[in-house]
Amino acid sequence: MAEPLSQDATTTLKALLTGSDPVSSALRAQIPHTRVESRCGCGCATVDLVVDRAAAQPAPAHGNPAADAWYSVPEDAGVMIFTEDGYLSLLEIYSASSEPITAWPDPRFVER
């Protein structure tokens, strides 16, 4: 069962989709219509997303990941946004260390 997108995940998506290009704009417009469908089994903060397709338009054709960046804090972490058919589908956080990142870092530390 889908659950609301957390404030931390929402601000992370917005931090990665800051561009004025058509893809970023369309994906940003989907955020209010996005819910968490499931979570990563390793315990990290990664979430599978589902968008209400009746309420939002798909983004124009683009590659995956649709956006990616590193964090300055923690230094070994990165984040990516993936889409499917033009809709947000995955917000993934990863780490070069062996420990999963269990909470979304402050989006002020995103470095694009």
Could you report the per-residue pLDDT of 50-70, keeping only the tens digit for each? 999 999 999 999 999 999 999
Measured in degrees and rounded to the nearest 5, phi and psi for residue 75 equal -65, -25
Residue 83: what pLDDT?
98
Per the structure, the count of domains in the chain is 1
Note whether residue 59 is domain-resident. no
pLDDT digits (tens, 9 = 90+) for 65-89: 999 999 999 988 999 999 999 999 9
Note whether residue 23 is domain-resident. yes
Note whether residue 103 is domain-resident. yes
Lowest-pLDDT range, 10-14, 44-48, 94-98? 94-98
Q: Which domain holds residue 71?
A: 3-53+64-111
Note whether residue 10 is domain-resident. yes
Note whether residue 37 is domain-resident. yes
Note whether residue 81 is domain-resident. yes
Q: Are 92 and 80 in contact (CB under 8 A)?
A: yes
Note whether residue 100 is domain-resident. yes
Note whether residue 44 is domain-resident. yes
Q: Are 28 and 95 in contact (CB under 8 A)?
A: no
